[in-house]
Structure 1
Amino acid sequence: MTATASAKSKFTVLLDPADALAFDSLALDMRYRAGRRVEKSEILRTLIRLAETDPRVHAALAEALDRRQGTN
């Protein structure tokens, strides 16, 4: 089967309370700034594309993950 642009994969993300609160706060801020409803899935897809295409975002993500190594 060939994947198409409309085909989507579904994921479950388990967040601790602090991360869930931070994500909720980010979503509310993005909704306020955009002046429209912004779904959390849209935020995640946009962050993925940014990390994939913007070297600065990619490097910041890599550094953050390096700092978290061993803390999970």
Structure 2
Amino acid sequence: ILGLVRSPVTATLPQIGSRLFLTWGILWSFPETQSHILVTSLVISWSITEIIRYSFFGLKETLGFAPSWLLWLRLV
């Protein structure tokens, strides 16, 4: 929508929407899951993945390239 990534909106929105639905719509609806270590690790791992992903795209779009270490993190 904002033009930050080249992926079509039809692919990006369901991906983001499913993560939001899973974390808020399902996991947070059950109080016993809110403090579970697996839920915490799920949210942290998704957050790290998105930080790497959008940092890569942001640098590539603004500078025309991304550092090799960020490319490596993106491919791992």
TM-score normalized by the length of structure 1: 0.33
* Greater per-residue helix proportion: 2
